[in-house]
Amino acid sequence: MTIRRVGLIARQTQPATIAALLEAAAWLETHGAAPVLDAEVAAEAGIADRWPTLETNDLPAAVDALVVFGGDGSLLSAASVVAHAGCDTPLMGVNLGRLGFLTEVNRSDMLVGLAALVEGRTRTETRMLLHGRVVRDGRDETAHLALNDIVVTRGALSRMIEIDVTVDGQPVFHVKADGLIVATATGSTAYNLSAGGPILHPAVDAIVLTPIAPHALTNRPLVLPATAELTLRPEIDPRSDIVVTFDGQYGAPLAAGDVVVVTRASRLLRLVRTSDRTHFDMLREKLQWGR
């Protein structure tokens, strides 16, 4: 794939983030690829007049690749923009955070990664997305996509909540817990892992259902085929404070009678990989796995 225009996007305007973005834009400009900056970030940083800019939601369709500066949260935010734009624009993450499990390129290797991108020496991994919708009174109240997970959880002042779960119309269990995580293989190393769920290899075509601090210890994580349709029916009364979140980036409060339906999305997300590190290398490096 020929890379002629590269979108540069960030969620924060901290000095380190802007410095990396500026360095990347200048390097791209001198190496045959036109940088296009996120308009909001460029305006906040006072650099809107140096390179072309576009609104965040317009970037994916206008460029050949997107480079995201920040941590995993920044990449998840950018992934949401790409997915909801209906594009298959590949994403490359430059890690300026702490863990950086999804943002593969370290800050010190940024220019090497950009060179690989522009010269076509990268590989692309496709990742499954989840589609979640809140059904209220028989109609879709809201719908959103997620790369990592969709979570039904109690709010700040809520008690333990109860949820009926069905898979493909078949009753699975009634769980009493702090919440319930529906995760992809990509998201298995995120909130799912913290809640005691299993680690899945990204190539595994599956969905993980993990209770958060369940009341009954027999409520254990469940691995389901990616083709499954999950229906979550939380018990909600006037005292309840229950929300559904998508990748921790977007949330919506749930009302009595609401049903959350989760399926595999019809599109995939493309992540750029610039090195030959395997998933197991990442586990050892980022999570100190096996050490």
Q: How far does CA 151 lie from the centroid of its chain?
A: 13
Could you give the 3-state DSSP secondary structure of residue 44?
A: helix
Assess whether 72 carries a catalytic annotation: yes
Tokens of 119: 């010269």
Which of 72, 149, 247, 258 is catalytic? The answer is: 72
**Structural contact between residues 152 and 260, judged by C-beta atoms closer than 8 angstroms:** yes
**Structural contact between residues 41 and 13, judged by C-beta atoms closer than 8 angstroms:** yes
Residue 107: DSSP 8-state: G
- State the sign of the Cα–Cα–Cα–Cα dihedral 272, 275, 278, 284: negative
Torsion, Cα of 242, 247, 249, 251 (10° steps)? -20
| Active-site annotation, residues | 72
